Structure 1
Amino acid sequence: MPVTAYDLTGRTALVTGAASGIGRATATLLAEAGAAVHCADLDERGVRATAAALTATGAIARAHHVDVTSRVQVAAVVDAAVRTTGRLDVLAAIAGVMHSAAVLETEEADLDRVWNINFKGVLHSCQEAARVMIATGTGGSIVTMASGAVDTGAPGLLSYGASKAAVIQLTKTLATEVGRHGIRVNAVAPGWIRTPMTARHTADAQQQAERPMARMSPLGRVGEAADVAQAVLHLASDAAAFTTGQILRPNGGVAMPW
């Protein structure tokens, strides 16, 4: 596949969760590939910093303060993105939160919060982006963010894992419904990735958390946000033109499901 398959020049991308971690790495990589990137996040200061860093390199980037649990706010961001270029080619729905609690200790309020952000927020983003892609007739690529937590049970990850499993079902179902419009829908399910979400308070605590995960990987390390961003770029680009309804797992080989 020619390198030009990863060229996104002239295309418009929307990245939710772009203030930090995987979202920021993804926005950066899509901009480097030539896309005009709309960066969205609840963290207004962080998302403005992301957009500013991109524009400082000569990229086209805008920041949007948005709560993905609000369909109205998501629709407004999608509309703003389309008004700048007349199209939306890529959605990377990355905004999400982590929550840990044993099943018997899971509180309804925590469950609702995780579900509303990790699933409904992705649903809102996918719906609004797909509607625009269909209306403009340009097709496009939607990439959702799942997790390696869907491949196995793990203590404390009921709410998080269930929300990410729902994202995978959304991804597969939407792919079957919008493919005829030239829209591809895929998910990325990372393993342990070093991000602010997985950060520990001290260096020793961070090493203790990462050491067993690194040992489980045939590559002998944990992932970086850039590793996941590369997977998103692949799915967003023409290199994945015949890929839809799939789950890409940048997990260092920790899990190898069929």
Structure 2
Amino acid sequence: MAVKAYDLTGRTAFVTGAAGGIGRACAVLLAEAGALVHGADRDATGLHETAALIKDRGGIARTHLLDVTEHAQVRQAVESCGRLDVMAAVAGIMHSSPVLDTREEDLDRVLDVNFKGVLYACQEAARLMISNGTRGSIVTMASGAVDTGGPGLLCYGVAKAAVVQLTKTLATEVGRHGIRVNAVAPGWIRTPMTDRHDPGAQERTEALMSRMSPLGRVGEPDEIAHAVLHLASDASSFTTGQILRPNGGVAMPW
């Protein structure tokens, strides 16, 4: 019964940020669980590589080259699925600046991608699920940054906190349709995005996180993908409006 609960055969999933990192891991794992996966990203090369990985493992993949900050593009891509059972809104960017040095354009850019992009994906997924009478699952990507302040993380933390509020609010509004909405709030995960964010400090940051985690290490994208699969599947059928924290035992140490 436990294995069957994670079987997504016959279901359709949509994953934003599917070109790499956590988004790619989610797309591949959902496909391995049996879902037809629609991957979306603005990185055409990375998106093609993800689709190839899925197909090499016997899965089915569709790709959508889009910018999640463009609502019309998100709407068109989601509607083209015809049916949708799972939305994994993973796309995001990193930004770091001290509060006193944060510019309006910094905040706008991070909110556009990390909050509005998630909002658009959630809105269009919920609309399609409701219109089709689908008892679906929407999974958003928050962060351990929502649990505590951290130097330089104003824009990122604010956007991810907004994602948490979106998740909890939407869960109360669509639950009567049988749609569940939950968030995953990872700790420090080794991904290309974290490497690009601060390459010089990556080794030091990983060493710090490893010391602060009871598990003694940082996380991997596949470990977050398994959390998403749990929330996407029937294994979490009575779970909604919740924040799952796969963070190695610590949210965000400073």
Q: TM-score range by the shorter chain?
A: over 0.9
User: Does residue 1:245 correspond to 2:221, yes or no?
Assistant: no
User: Does residue 1:212 correspond to 2:208, yes or no?
Assistant: yes
Structure 2 distance, partners of 1:141, 1:112, is 28
In the alignment, which residue of structure 1 is the partner of 2:144?
148
What is the CA distance between 1:198 and its match in structure 2? 1.1
Deviations 1:61-96 (A, max 9, x none): 0111011111100001101222xxxx1000000000
Counterpart secondary structure, 2:80: helix
User: Does residue 1:64 correspond to 2:60, yes or no?
Assistant: no
Counterpart secondary structure, 2:149: coil
What is the CA distance between 1:117 and its match in structure 2? 0.5
Rate the CA distance shift 1:201–1:238 in 2: closer, same or farther, 3 A.
closer
In the alignment, which residue of structure 1 is the partner of 2:73?
73
Contact 2:85 2:136 in 1 (8 A): yes
Deviations 1:173-227 (A, max 9, x none): 0000000001000000000000011116999853222001110000001000011
Contact 2:145 2:251 in 1 (8 A): no
User: Does residue 1:181 correspond to 2:205, yes or no?
Assistant: no
Letter in 2 for 1:247: I
Contact 2:94 2:197 in 1 (8 A): no
Structure 2 distance, partners of 1:76, 1:124, is 11
In the alignment, which residue of structure 1 is the partner of 2:186?
190
Structure 1 distance, partners of 2:231, 2:198, is 35
Contact 2:67 2:74 in 1 (8 A): yes
Structure 2 distance, partners of 1:6, 1:47, is 25
Structure 2 distance, partners of 1:78, 1:94, is 15
Structure 2 distance, partners of 1:201, 1:88, is 33
Rate the CA distance shift 1:202–1:138 in 2: closer, same or farther, 3 A.
closer
Contact 1:10 1:34 in 2 (8 A): yes
Structure 2 distance, partners of 1:108, 1:12, is 38
1:83-232 maps to which residues of 2 (within 5 A)?
87-199=83-195, 205-232=201-228
In the alignment, which residue of structure 1 is the partner of 2:34?
34
Contact 1:193 1:222 in 2 (8 A): yes
Normalising by the residue count of structure 2, what TM-score does the alignment of the two structures yield? 0.96
Moved over 2 A (4+): 200-207
Counterpart secondary structure, 2:175: helix
Q: Which runs of 5+ in 2 are unaligned?
A: none
- More displaced 10-residue stretch of structure 1: 51-60 or 19-28: 51-60
In the alignment, which residue of structure 2 is the partner of 1:11?
11
Letter in 1 for 2:72: V
Structure 2 distance, partners of 1:237, 1:120, is 25
Normalising by the residue count of structure 1, what TM-score does the alignment of the two structures yield? 0.95
What is the CA distance between 1:56 and its match in structure 2? 2.1
What is the CA distance between 1:110 and its match in structure 2? 1.2
Letter in 2 for 1:6: Y
Q: Which runs of 5+ in 1 are unaligned?
A: none
Q: How many equivalent residue pairs?
A: 252
Structure 1 distance, partners of 2:200, 2:173, is 48
In the alignment, which residue of structure 1 is the partner of 2:46?
46
CA RMSD, Structure 1 to Structure 2 (Å): 1.5
Counterpart secondary structure, 1:226: helix
Contact 1:200 1:206 in 2 (8 A): no
What is the CA distance between 1:139 and its match in structure 2? 1.5
Contact 1:19 1:41 in 2 (8 A): yes
What is the CA distance between 1:231 and its match in structure 2? 0.3
Letter in 2 for 1:104: L
